[in-house]
Amino acid sequence: MVSVKPEQFRRIWSALITPTHEDESVNYDALEQVVKRQIEDGAEGFYCCGSSGEGLLLTLDERKQVLEHVLKAADGRVPVISHVGTIRTRDVIDLARHAMSAGALAVSMIPPYYYKFSMDEITGYYEDVIRALPDVPAIVYNIPQFTGIEFSKSNASRLLSNENIVGIKHTSTNLYSLERMGDAFPGKALINGFDEQFLGALAMGSVATIGTTVNLFAPLFHKVRDAYESGNMAEALRWQHEINLRVEKTVSIGIFNAMKYGWTLRGIDCGFCRAPFRPLNEDARAVMRELVAR
């Protein structure tokens, strides 16, 4: 029986970066510093080892260690979700078992990728993890531009009917699909995954956001949510414009590296993303200097 409730996800979550040294090894000291500072900035939870955290560029052991250090630094002040998705089901089960024993609130999983798995096989992948860990609260990670799989009310009904699936991280521009899934499965937490549509996702039923730019700009997300909840849509849109400016500029230079360099500018050297990513050039660094100084 899953004890986690949808309202526990009603937060602004940072899709946390993974700091690295020059030799690409994980900088766990910097990771803990960033977690503590982001909590001060207003991050209400952390999503580890997702896209922003280079999860698929980390070894399984590194993913476990990242989670443990994040939990240590958070020290119970905010919850942590561990992204455990990868292509091999046994590895997902291993990561999920570790995450729950370490103290994560829930796990999240991209669908298996590369091979053109059938929807039955994809659904079975999630069900195999739940079968191995009957108490695990799991969040489906819908990110079709990376995985090639778009979850919807029609193809995910069997999956979303499972009581262990407590929500969906919807990193898709299809807000109609988000609303339809929420209407069909009202007990699930709808979590926005695109920072640039936070306000729109709130209007379509999202209760939370997990965002890359939350790493550096958490206060802006609070301003959007506060204005929306008070009914001041003009103010909410004003702050969404500020988020979108930052999204536009960081996407143009490489958003994941941009977040890491932004923290370097704030005094915690987070290095750059692992190869085959390339470090930011000087023009891109100048863009980040301007954004961080705003």
Q: Is residue 176 part of a domain?
A: yes
Q: Take residue 255 and report the two structure tokens written for it.
A: 């958003």
Q: Is residue 237 part of a domain?
A: yes
Say how many C-beta atoms besides its own lie within 10 A of residue 155's C-beta.
13
Q: Which parts of the chain register pLDDT below 50?
A: none
Q: Is residue 4 part of a domain?
A: no
Domain tally, the chain:
1
Instruction: Give the C-alpha separation, 268 to 288, whole Å.
Output: 15
Nearest to 261 by CA among 243, 230, 283: 283
Nearest to 162 by CA among 206, 123, 112: 123
Q: Is residue 102 part of a domain?
A: yes
For 173-200, write each residue's pLDDT tens digit. Answer: 999 999 999 999 999 999 999 999 999 9
Q: What is the pLDDT of residue 6?
A: 84
CATH assignment at residue 69 = 3.20.20.70
> Which residue type, as a one-letter code, is found at position 139?
I
Q: Is residue 3 part of a domain?
A: no
Residues with Cβ within 8 Å of residue 43, at least 6 apart in sequence: 12, 13, 14, 78, 214, 218
For 162-172, write each residue's pLDDT tens digit. Answer: 999 999 999 99
Q: Take residue 194 and report the two structure tokens written for it.
A: 């695109």
Q: What is the pLDDT of residue 3?
A: 83
Nearest to 48 by CA among 215, 285, 277: 215
> What range does the domain containing 111 cover?
9-293
**Is 164 buried (19+), middle (13-18) or exposed (0-12) by CB count in 10 A?**
buried
Q: Give the angle subtended at the CA of 280 by the CAs of 84 and 197, to the nearest 5°.
A: 55
> DSSP character for 51?
T
Q: Take residue 290 and report the two structure tokens written for it.
A: 């301007």
Q: What is the pLDDT of residue 19?
A: 98
Q: What is the pLDDT of residue 266?
A: 97
3-state secondary structure of 34: helix
Residues with Cβ within 8 Å of residue 76, at least 6 apart in sequence: none
Instruction: Give the C-alpha separation, 126 to 111, whole Å.
Output: 8
Residues with Cβ within 8 Å of residue 257, at least 6 apart in sequence: 272, 273, 277, 278, 279, 280, 284
Q: Is residue 243 part of a domain?
A: yes
Alpha helices, H only, 75-151: 89-102, 119-132, 144-147
Alpha carbon distances (Å) from 177 to 82, 149, 173, 184: 25, 13, 9, 11
Looking at the annotation, which residues are catalytic?
A: 141, 169
Q: Is residue 1 part of a domain?
A: no
Q: Is residue 133 part of a domain?
A: yes
Nearest to 10 by CA among 179, 207, 224: 207
DSSP assignments along 256-293, one per residue:
HHHHHHHHHHTT-----PPTTS----HHHHHHHHHHHH
